[in-house]
Amino acid sequence: GQNIEAIPVGDPATIFDHLEPNTTVVGIDEIQFFDPGIVTVIEQLASRGIRVIAAGLDMDFRGEPFGPMPQLLAVAEEVVKLHAICVVCGDLASRTQRLVNGKPAHYEDPIIMVGAQESYEARCRSCHRVPHLDAVAKS
């Protein structure tokens, strides 16, 4: 296989600082963590004829749209949705289960927890659990 050096960026606009004159492809991983400005950056890259391959989670641990993903999915020319295998039942998994001390994280927990001691599992819709989700949805 081929290896390409990854360059960490915080502000999406700094992606332009790392482009070579002959850049034809830009890959962006963990795109769900970028701010909404990433959508404009990707649109500008595509307008320059640069192919952008973005990877990230479309839903957070609550099963809700994650960060800029809804906008990115809307403007993408092609979307490939990959699935893992549910660790509980073996079906296709489309969701991410956050576990804290081995138990499902509560709905009220922060979306992003830096440095926390949580773990994640792939889950299907039926096996995905978010305590207090029903209570929040009804209020």
Structural domain of residue 11, as residue ranges?
A: 1-82
Residue type for position 9: V
Task: Kindly state whether residues 71 and 3 are assigned to the same domain.
Answer: yes
Catalytic residue positions?
A: 30
| Contact in structure between 104 and 66 (CB atoms under 8 Å) | no
Mean pLDDT, range 4-15, rounded to an integer: 93
CATH number at residue 50: 3.40.50.300
Task: Kindly state whether residues 40 and 59 are assigned to the same domain.
Answer: yes
Task: Kindly state whether residues 16 and 75 are assigned to the same domain.
Answer: yes
Task: Kindly state whether residues 11 and 53 are assigned to the same domain.
Answer: yes
Question: Cα separation of 60 and 38, whole Å?
Answer: 18
Task: Kindly state whether residues 31 and 2 are assigned to the same domain.
Answer: yes
Domain count, the chain: 2
Whether 137 shows a pLDDT value over 70: the answer reads: no
pLDDT for the residue 130: 95
Residue 102 lies in a domain: yes
Task: Kindly state whether residues 59 and 88 are assigned to the same domain.
Answer: no
Backbone angles phi, psi at 58, to 5 degrees: -85, -20
Residue 139 lies in a domain: no
Q: What is the mean pLDDT of the chain?
A: 93
Q: How many C-beta atoms surround the C-beta of residue 28 within 10 A? A: 20
Task: Kindly state whether residues 62 and 87 are assigned to the same domain.
Answer: no
Percent of the chain with pLDDT over 70: 94
pLDDT bucket at 2, cuts 50 / 70 / 90: confident
pLDDT for the residue 67: 97
Mean pLDDT, range 34-57, rounded to an integer: 97
Question: Cα separation of 3 and 46, whole Å?
Answer: 23
Residue 47 lies in a domain: yes
Task: Kindly state whether residues 40 and 1 are assigned to the same domain.
Answer: yes
Domain boundary among 67, 82, 97: 82
Q: The whole model's pTM is what?
A: 0.85
Task: Kindly state whether residues 35 and 91 are assigned to the same domain.
Answer: no
Whether 3 shows a pLDDT value over 90: the answer reads: no
